[in-house]
Amino acid sequence: GAVVSQHPSRVICKSGTSVKIECRSLDFQATTMFWYRQFPKKSLMLMATSNEGSKATYEQGVEKDKFLINHASLTLSTLTVTSAHPEDSSFYICSARRTGGTYEQYFGPGTRLTVT
């Protein structure tokens, strides 16, 4: 149990285009989902926290108009990188916290975004 999936696993896009990444909790409901960014050989940087049915809370320094987050259901959150630039190239990882459970947080396999 407690499986989180992400799609796509890898994506290459051209500068100026937008890319959507999906995060799903497959076998549990997640009121809260998180989006992280990880630079090579670095730790995870929390970008935003999303709660189902409400607006995401963004961390300081993260542009909310650039990284659009939607948490439409208890099992799905999406991150859209708008007008992508090469500096947005990174490994994006989502995470979900089980509704009503302890503070266990489960992570997706990550999405490697490359902007050319």
Partner 1 sequence: GEDVEQSLFLSVREGDSSVINCTYTDSSSTYLYWYKQEPGAGLQLLTYIFSNMDMKQDQRLTVLLNKKDKHLSLRIADTQTGDSAIYFCAEFGGFQKLVFGTGTRLLVSP
Residue ranges in contact with partner 1 by CB under 8 A: 2, 4, 6, 34, 42-44, 46, 49, 93, 95, 102-110, 112
In whole angstroms, the minimum distance from the beta carbon of 83 to partner 1 comes to: 26
DSSP state of 53: T
Strand ranges, E, within the chain: 4-7, 10-13, 19-25, 32-38, 44-51, 57-58, 67-73, 76-81, 90-97, 105-107, 111-115
Cβ-based nearer residue to partner 1, 49 or 82: 49
**Which tokens in the block code for residue 16?**
């100026």
Cβ-based nearer residue to partner 1, 54 or 102: 102
Cβ-based nearer residue to partner 1, 44 or 62: 44
In whole angstroms, the minimum distance from the beta carbon of 108 to partner 1 comes to: 5
